[in-house]
């Protein structure tokens, strides 16, 4: 099975990296926002 | 080449799973919008009084039917298909699987009776000492044990296949399904112990008291991997079917897909305490350890994101797409199976972000039991999973019944409406949570709701209304398809995305069960052994039951 | 079946390495908040018998309320209950701004939640267990505390307030 098609070898998922970059930026932004709420509210001990 | 023929009896058997699943979704989804409307100040529950006594009873119906029954039946049906079609052989013992299926059906009925009689208004987490009628616990037990029995049927079928094909790599859809089954069989031990050693004898009056903290710990032993039991079948479709449907794409990395499934098996159980960060009876050391492993289980999800998107990009480029993003438009968006699953995957990005925040140890203090949580899981189980299953049903039901999908255009519209409704609903729930709104509360009634929440509460209701429309269209399309006089000319082609590299060339350890199973069990013993030992040794059976609804 | 090595595309390898680093960064951030800034989750405090905790005269929850343990430092014993009515005892606490209050909350009946709005005090209340976290109230105002776990038909009305005076 899995016969190679022409072009499979030079397929570079550049679009994938771009989408994931947007995702990661969003992830860091949202996560950090919530984290800063936590830190702003102070200690619990 | 003609595809493997699944027998008519087996197709019918798989179809029965889908029928129960969709019926559960139909009834359960009636109640979802009622909750959302209540938030917006349109309380329809007052008109349902003779039938449904309260918001909470409606919420119990919604949670049990949508999160437990719809998912479990759809999954068992889809996995049955994957095992048969993937291994290209009939089930070893169809009777055994039928026994499992009927146990599940009886279980649903047994649990439904007390729920509808308002004798089990305990929500789908059924935390003691809220005490439901015994039939509720019997019903849940039968659903779980029935799903085990069906799983044993899969394992027996696999054993025969392996005997006949000692050196062959297992086809991916069968592999993923068996790993999912195994994960389920291991993780449900928690809730099985909870019900059989505490809740059931207690509800029958055999014991008088339970230990609520221990019960929660058993519950979440199962409760988190349950999430992966829901997700992995969708992942199977995203990895190995969707790229083909989206434009004849190939699976970017078969080996890493298998590795990620093994990592889910190993890592998804020993992290359950991340649902108990703010429980008083669990030492912070264990909470912290579980949080670190939870970051670990995020890793295979990130791997999945890459492989799935790359496979889709491959499909888009094959269709002549170019540029960094333009290929996305070339995917077959007018195929409802594709549109549903792409939109499901898109919202799952945000589900993942919310999940990571919930799981981040003390960050949970900001989010725990706020409206953020249902906001989050309506992106995961109610969209990533549910909308994907809906997408799968758009090709699987025509495949099983031989009847043409009724009005594919409407099916595509349905997916888009779900997407829009869920964005509105879920976004407002997340924001409300951050503002401090609690979950599981009829906020239309709550005396402490400040005026600044009102616009968001309205959006919750609006999202619910849009989702209701989408659900109704789905049910119409399914009904019209199941009764469609127009038949497909030839059997629907099962979409299987070929891997880019020959899977036979992957490393041999990706095909070994033992190391992964031992690894999973060892981690469970390490991460749960001491804390459970301690809790059981110091068990405090001091809580009698309460029926306060 | 061969025993070839795992094939990983170079882009994907880069992504995996980046993912791992990112997750470690998050883990470090929560650890800093937990161990550096004292933003901690509840720890086992004390176990009680829910059947007697509200009535036993030796139990602080038989007489719930504020105790000043040092200047500006308070212990608040709070009972969260569904029977006979869904409420917290006491319903209202008053402290001056700048006070540090340790909340000790338990339940004589079902599970409840306890979340003080706009603070990091947010935890489960479980019969048989005592939940404790501490909050420092610097800004005057009214801070509602709300039940965040389903506890029966009156769940939605279960709340109280901390009044922080200037």
Q: Is the CB of B291 less than 8 angstroms away from the CB of C30?
A: yes
In-domain check, residue C154 = yes
Q: Is the CB of A45 less than 8 angstroms away from the CB of C26?
A: no
Residues C160, C129 share a domain: yes
What value, to the nearest 5°, has the Cα angle with vertex B225 and ends B224 and B230? 105
Q: Is the CB of A19 less than 8 angstroms away from the CB of B325?
A: yes
Q: How many domains does chain C have?
A: 2
In-domain check, residue B3 = no
User: How far is it, in rounded angstroms, from Cα C128 to Cα C110?
Assistant: 10
Residues C150, C76 share a domain: yes
**What are residue B130's DSSP bridge partners?**
B546
Q: Is the CB of A31 less than 8 angstroms away from the CB of C26?
A: yes
At residue B144, the pLDDT reads: 97
Quote the minimal CA–CA distance from B125 to chain C in Å. Answer: 10
User: How far is it, in rounded angstroms, from Cα B339 to Cα B333?
Assistant: 5
In-domain check, residue C50 = no
DSSP B477-516: HHHHHHT-SPBPSSPPPPP-PPBSS-GGGS-GGGG-SHHH
At residue B443, the pLDDT reads: 95
**What are residue B403's DSSP bridge partners?**
B487
Scanning the structure block, which residue is given the tokens 């079917």? Answer: B241
- pLDDT band, residue A2 (cuts 50/70/90): very low
Q: Find the CB nearest C39 among A12, A13, A44.
A: A44
Q: Is the dihedral of CA C60, C61, C66, C71 positive or negative?
A: positive
In-domain check, residue B372 = yes
Query: C162 by DSSP, 3-state: which?
Result: strand
DSSP B2-47: PPP---HHHHHHHHHHHHHHHHHHHHHHHHHHHHHHHHTT---GGG
At residue A1, the pLDDT reads: 43
B503 in contact with chain C, both atoms CB, cutoff 8 A: no
- Report yes or no: B265 and B296 within 8 Å, Cβ to Cβ: no
Domain containing residue C83: CATH number: 2.60.40.420
At residue B291, the pLDDT reads: 97
Residues C86, C30 share a domain: no
Alpha helix ranges (H) inside B436-453:
none
Contacts of B345 (CB under 8 A, 6+ apart): B238, B308, B384, B388
A37 contacts on B by Cβ (under 8 Å): 366, 434
Quote the minimal CA–CA distance from C120 to chain A in Å. Answer: 6
Could you say which DSSP state residue C6 is in? P
- Report yes or no: B64 and B124 within 8 Å, Cβ to Cβ: yes
Residues C65, C30 share a domain: no
Structure tokens at A20: 């994931």
Contacts of B17 (CB under 8 A, 6+ apart): B73, B74, B76, B77, B78, B80, B101
Residue of B455, B477, B432, B497 lying closest to B244 (CA atoms): B497
In-domain check, residue B2 = no
Tell me the angle at which helices B212-240 and B71-87 cross, rounded to the nearest 10 degrees.
40
In-domain check, residue C48 = no
In-domain check, residue B4 = no
Query: Which domain, by its residues, includes C10?
Result: 1-40
Task: Order the strands of the C112-116 sheet from edge to edge.
Answer: C92-96, C159-165, C141-146, C112-116, C122-125
B168 in contact with chain C, both atoms CB, cutoff 8 A: yes
Domain containing residue B143: CATH number: 1.20.210.10
- Three-state SS sequence of B300-337: HHHHHHHHHHHHHHHHHHHCCCCCCCCHHHHCCCCCHH
User: How far is it, in rounded angstroms, from Cα A29 to Cα B457?
Assistant: 25
- Report yes or no: B46 and B78 within 8 Å, Cβ to Cβ: no
In-domain check, residue C54 = no
Scored b (16 or more CB within 10 A) or e, B392-427 reads bbbbbbbbbbebbbbbbebbbbbbebbbebbbbbbb
- pLDDT band, residue C1 (cuts 50/70/90): very low
In-domain check, residue C49 = no
User: How far is it, in rounded angstroms, from Cα B67 to Cα B124?
Assistant: 8
In-domain check, residue B506 = yes
C35 contacts on B by Cβ (under 8 Å): none
Residue A41: enclosing H or E segment and its boundaries? helix A14-41
Residues C25, C94 share a domain: no
A36 in contact with chain C, both atoms CB, cutoff 8 A: no
Tell me, what's the ipTM? 0.96
Among B243, B294, B309, B348, the strongest candidate for a mutation testing the A interface, having the largest count of A CBs within 10 A, is: B309
Structure tokens at C91: 């319903």
B124 in contact with chain C, both atoms CB, cutoff 8 A: no
Scanning the structure block, which residue is given the tokens 């338990």? Answer: C106
User: How far is it, in rounded angstroms, from Cα B350 to Cα B365?
Assistant: 20
Cα–Cα distances (Å) from B56 to B43, B101, B126, B246, B448, in that order, read: 13, 29, 12, 41, 19
Quick: pLDDT tens for C89-116: 999 999 999 999 999 999 999 999 999 9
Bond into C90 cis (ω within 30): yes
Q: Is the CB of B302 less than 8 angstroms away from the CB of C15?
A: yes
In-domain check, residue B129 = yes
Query: Which domain, by its residues, includes B199?
Result: 9-537
User: How far is it, in rounded angstroms, from Cα B271 to Cα B296?
Assistant: 9
User: How far is it, in rounded angstroms, from Cα B392 to Cα B400?
Assistant: 12
Q: Is the CB of C39 less than 8 angstroms away from the CB of A43?
A: yes
In-domain check, residue C46 = no
Q: Name the closest residue on chain A to residue B350, using Cα atoms.
A: A27
C43 contacts on B by Cβ (under 8 Å): 283-284
Q: Is the CB of C38 less than 8 angstroms away from the CB of A44?
A: yes
At residue A6, the pLDDT reads: 54
In-domain check, residue B549 = no
Residues C3, C68 share a domain: no
In-domain check, residue B547 = no
In-domain check, residue C160 = yes
Query: C138 by DSSP, 3-state: which?
Result: coil
Output the tens digit of pLDDT for each of chain B's 549 residues.
Answer: 689 999 999 999 999 999 999 999 999 999 999 999 999 999 999 999 989 999 999 999 999 999 999 999 999 999 999 999 999 999 999 999 999 999 999 999 999 999 999 999 999 999 999 999 999 999 999 999 999 999 999 999 999 999 999 989 999 999 999 999 999 999 999 999 999 999 999 999 999 999 999 999 999 999 999 999 999 999 999 999 999 999 999 999 999 999 999 999 999 999 999 999 999 999 999 999 999 999 999 999 999 999 999 999 999 999 999 999 999 999 999 999 999 999 999 999 999 999 999 999 999 999 999 999 999 999 999 999 999 999 999 999 999 999 999 999 999 999 999 999 999 999 999 999 999 999 999 999 899 999 999 999 999 999 999 999 999 999 999 999 999 999 999 999 999 999 998 888 888 889 899 999 999 999 999 999 999 999 999 999 999 999 999
What value, to the nearest 5°, has the Cα angle with vertex B474 and ends B472 and B476? 70
Q: Does position A9 have pLDDT exceeding 80, yes or no?
A: no
In-domain check, residue C102 = yes
Q: Find the CB nearest A44 among C29, C30, C121.
A: C121
User: How far is it, in rounded angstroms, from Cα C43 to Cα B333?
Assistant: 51
Q: How many domains does chain B have?
A: 1
Q: Name the closest residue on chain C to residue A11, using Cα atoms.
A: C9
Interface of B with C in 203-242 (CB under 8 A): 211-213, 216
C29 contacts on A by Cβ (under 8 Å): 35
Q: Is the CB of B363 less than 8 angstroms away from the CB of A2?
A: no
Q: Is the CB of C109 less than 8 angstroms away from the CB of B546?
A: yes
Residue of C79, C51, C9, C3 lying closest to B504 (CA atoms): C3
Catalytically annotated residues of B: 224, 228, 376-378, 439-440
């Amino acid at each position: 099975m899995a016969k190679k098609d022409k072009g499979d070898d030079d397929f570079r998922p550049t679009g994938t990296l771009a989408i994931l970059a947007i995702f990661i930026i969003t992830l860091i932004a949202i996560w950090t926002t919530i984290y800063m709420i936590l830190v702003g509210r102070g200690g619990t001990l | 080449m003609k595809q493997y023929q699944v027998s008519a009896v087996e197709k019918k058997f798989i179809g029965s799973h889908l029928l129960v699943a969709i019926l559960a979704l139909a009834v359960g989804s009636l109640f979802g919008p009622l909750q959302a409307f209540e938030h917006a100040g349109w309380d329809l529950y007052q008109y349902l009084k003779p039938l449904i006594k309260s918001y909470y009873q409606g919420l119990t119906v919604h949670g049990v039917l949508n999160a437990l029954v719809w998912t479990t039946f759809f999954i068992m049906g889809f996995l049955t298909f994957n095992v048969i079609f993937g291994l290209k052989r009939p089930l070893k013992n169809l009777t055994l699987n039928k026994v499992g299926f009927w146990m599940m059906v009886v279980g649903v009925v047994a649990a439904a009776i007390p729920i509808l009689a308002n004798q089990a208004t305990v929500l789908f987490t059924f935390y003691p000492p809220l005490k439901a009628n015994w039939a509720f616990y019997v019903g849940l037990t039968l659903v779980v044990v029935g799903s085990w029995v069906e799983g044993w049927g899969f394992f027996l079928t696999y054993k025969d296949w392996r005997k006949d094909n000692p050196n062959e790599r297992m086809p991916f859809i069968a592999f993923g399904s068996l790993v999912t089954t195994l994960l389920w069989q291991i993780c449900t031990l928690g809730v099985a112990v909870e019900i059989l050693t505490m809740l059931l004898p207690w509800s029958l009056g055999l014991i008088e008291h339970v230990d609520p903290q221990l019960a929660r710990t058993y519950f979440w032993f199962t409760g988190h991997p349950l999430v992966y039991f829901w997700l992995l079948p969708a992942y199977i479709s995203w990895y190995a079917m969707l790229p083909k449907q989206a434009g004849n794409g190939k699976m970017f990395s078969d080996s890493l897909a298998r590795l990620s499934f093994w990592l889910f098996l190993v890592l998804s159980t020993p992290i359950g305490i991340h649902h108990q960060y703010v429980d008083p009876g669990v030492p912070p050391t264990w909470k912290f350890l579980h949080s670190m492993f939870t970051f670990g289980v995020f890793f295979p999800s990130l791997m999945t994101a890459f492989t799935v998107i790359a496979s889709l990009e491959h499909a888009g480029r094959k269709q002549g797409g170019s540029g960094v993003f333009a290929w996305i438009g070339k995917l077959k968006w007018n195929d409802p199976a594709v549109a549903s699953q792409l939109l499901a995957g898109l919202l799952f990005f945000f589900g993942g972000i919310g999940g990571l925040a919930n799981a981040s140890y003390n960050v949970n203090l900001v989010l725990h039991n706020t409206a953020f949580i249902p906001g989050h899981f309506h992106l995961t189980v109610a969209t990533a999973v549910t909308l994907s299953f809906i997408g799968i049903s758009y090709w699987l039901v025509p495949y099983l019944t031989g009847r043409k999908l009724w009005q594919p255009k409407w099916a595509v519209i349905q997916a888009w409406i779900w997407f829009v409704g869920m964005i509105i609903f879920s976004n407002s729930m997340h924001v409300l949570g951050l503002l401090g709104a609690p979950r599981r509360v009829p906020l239309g009634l709550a005396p402490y709701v400040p005026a600044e929440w009102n616009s968001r509460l309205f959006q919750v209701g609006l999202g619910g209304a849009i989702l209701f429309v989408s659900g109704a269209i789905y049910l119409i399309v399914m009904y019209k398809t199941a009764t469609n006089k127009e038949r497909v000319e030839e059997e629907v082609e099962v979409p299987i995305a070929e891997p880019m590299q020959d899977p036979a060339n992957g490393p041999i350890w990706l095909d070994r069960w033992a190391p992964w199973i031992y690894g999973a069990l060892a981690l469970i013993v390490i991460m749960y052994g001491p804390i459970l030992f301690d809790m059981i040794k110091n068990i405090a059976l001091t809580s009698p039951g309460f029926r306060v609804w | 079946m061969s025993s070839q090595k795992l094939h990983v595309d170079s882009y994907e390898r880069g992504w995996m390495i980046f993912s791992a680093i990112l997750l470690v960064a998050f883990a470090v951030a929560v650890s800093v908040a937990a161990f550096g800034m004292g933003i901690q989750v509840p720890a086992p405090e004390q176990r009680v018998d829910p059947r007697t905790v509200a009535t036993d005269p030796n139990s602080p929850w038989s007489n719930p309320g504020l105790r000043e343990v040092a200047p500006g430092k308070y212990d608040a014993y709070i009972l969260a209950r569904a029977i006979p009515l869904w409420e917290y005892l006491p319903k209202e606490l008053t402290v001056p701004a700048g006070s540090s209050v340790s909340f000790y909350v338990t339940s004589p009946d079902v599970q409840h939640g306890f979340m003080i709005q706009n603070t990091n005090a947010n935890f489960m209340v479980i019969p048989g267990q005592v939940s404790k976290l501490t909050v420092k109230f610097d800004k005057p105002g009214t801070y509602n505390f709300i039940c965040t776990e389903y506890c029966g038909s009156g769940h939605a009305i279960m709340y109280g307030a901390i009044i922080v005076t200037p």
